[in-house]
Amino acid sequence: SKKAGRDQVTFFTDEMGTAAKARDLLEIELARGIENDEFVLHYQPRIDVASGQVVGAEGLVRWMHPTRGLILPSDFIAVCEETGLIEDLGRKVLEQGCEQAIKWHRAGLELDVSLNVSPRQFSDPALLETLFRLANLPDFPLGHIELEVTENVLIGDPDAIAEKLKAITAMGYNIAIDDFGTGYSNLAYILRFPLTCIKIDRSFISQLPSSGPLVQLIISLGEQTGAMVVSEGVETHKQLDWLRKHDCAQAQGHVIAPPLQVAKFESFLAKGR
Ligand code: C2E
Ligand code: CA
Ligand code: CA
């Protein structure tokens, strides 16, 4: 009926209004939280599969909200990306991650530290300046900081992307391709870039052994291109055993440890040594 139709319209606009208001509020809260340094990196260990030794850590950001507690990236990264707040947040993540890597380096720990870089952050012209400034800090662990980018980051003008990646690797950073196999990019295209590491997406690891042929293909791709292959989201000993048997170099996942706050990460390291 006409009445029902009108109600529906009203309901729809209200919903839209509420959703938009909630988003505006989140955006304001995010800007405030970034300003107040409420974002903290937790670190997930990465092991050498053959030896079981911890060889690295991925920094994963968490929002320590003063009233709402710990908030995971799935609840805020997309909004930061859409609004441009990722440029500030991303810079702070890089600073925090590099400062932590410097501390560990000074303490004599040999760790590769990986940090995530989003598409908008990668296309921000200020990224190179930030990376240059950080690489010139005293005791910066040259060759031990890796930037993780997804296939989406590499979509665009190939010459411009290659040039940017070259500038970044020339400063001493390594580049990993994250969530490998989930994007829509062309393989030959991806492999033109100077990638030092391929991270096999969790979705393929959780489907082992049926996804075995694909995982083996990625492992041999790594061997042939000289890129380190890391399996992500390893949750069971069965999966880890499969990866060891098929010569996957490194692994990361809950079967080893979840992302840990710095103090817990350090005690995890101490236990393993
Ligand atoms: P990602 O880069 O693919 O990170 C891996 C995600 O998988 C992390 O979720 C991690 O906690 C989770 N994970 C690790 N091991 C396991 C496992 O064994 N099982 C399962 N089910 N999950 C596992 P998290 O920390 O919630 O981060 C989600 C995504 O948010 C990240 O995916 C990344 O895309 C983004 N992100 C996180 N930190 C940052 C950051 O500092 N900057 C940017 N731009 N993005 C970030
Ligand atoms: Ca990542
Ligand atoms: Ca990933």
Strands 54-65 vs 39-48: parallel, antiparallel or unpaired? antiparallel
Q: Reduced to 3 states, what is the DSSP secondary structure of residue 37?
A: coil
Q: Which two tokens stand for residue 2?
A: 């006409």
Q: Reduced to 3 states, what is the DSSP secondary structure of residue 200?
A: strand
Q: Is 56 in the pocket of ligand 1 (CB under 6 A)?
A: no
Q: What is the DSSP letter of 260?
A: B
Q: Would you say the pTM of this structure is higher than 0.80? A: yes
The ligand minimizing its distance to the Cα of 77 is 1
Strand locations in the chain (E)? 39-48, 54-65, 69-71, 112-116, 145-150, 174-180, 197-200, 228-231, 250-251
Closest atom of ligand 1 relative to the 117 alpha carbon = 44
Q: Is the predicted pLDDT of residue 4 greater than 50, yes or no?
A: no
Q: Is 127 in the pocket of ligand 1 (CB under 6 A)?
A: no
- pLDDT tens per residue, range 182-227: 887 778 778 889 899 999 999 999 999 999 999 999 999 999 999 9
- Give distance in angstroms: CA of 2 to centre of ligand 2: 51
Asked casually if ipTM beats, i.e. exceeds, 0.95, the reply is: yes
Q: Which of 157, 225, 233 is nearest to 187 (CA)?
A: 225
Query: Of all protein residues, whose CA lies closest to atom 17 belonging to ligand 1?
Result: 233
Closest atom of ligand 1 relative to the 93 alpha carbon = 41
Q: What pLDDT is stored for residue 1 in this prediction?
A: 39
Q: Is the predicted pLDDT of residue 78 greater than 80, yes or no?
A: yes
- The pair phi, psi for residue 178, each rounded to 5°, is -90, 155
- For the chain, give the mean pLDDT: 92
Burial 187-206 (b: 16+ CB within 10 A, else e): eeebeebebbbbbbbbebbe
Q: Which residues does residue 63 pair with via DSSP β-bridges, in sequence order?
A: 39, 71
Q: What pLDDT is stored for residue 13 in this prediction?
A: 56
- pLDDT tens per residue, range 140-159: 999 999 999 998 888 888 89
Position 273 confidence tier, pLDDT thresholds 50, 70, 90: low
Q: Is 253 in the pocket of ligand 1 (CB under 6 A)?
A: yes
Percent of the chain with pLDDT over 70: 94
Q: Is the predicted pLDDT of residue 5 greater than 50, yes or no?
A: no
Q: What pLDDT is stored for residue 24 in this prediction?
A: 87
- pLDDT tens per residue, range 219-242: 999 999 999 999 999 999 999 999
Q: Which CB contacts under 8 angstroms, 24+ apart, belong to 228-232?
A: 228/196, 228/197, 228/198, 229/197, 229/198, 229/200, 230/46, 230/176, 230/197, 230/198, 230/199, 230/200, 231/49, 231/199, 231/200, 231/205, 232/179, 232/199, 232/200, 232/201, 232/202, 232/205
Half-sphere exposure of 257 (CA within 13 A, CB side): 24
Position 9 confidence tier, pLDDT thresholds 50, 70, 90: very low
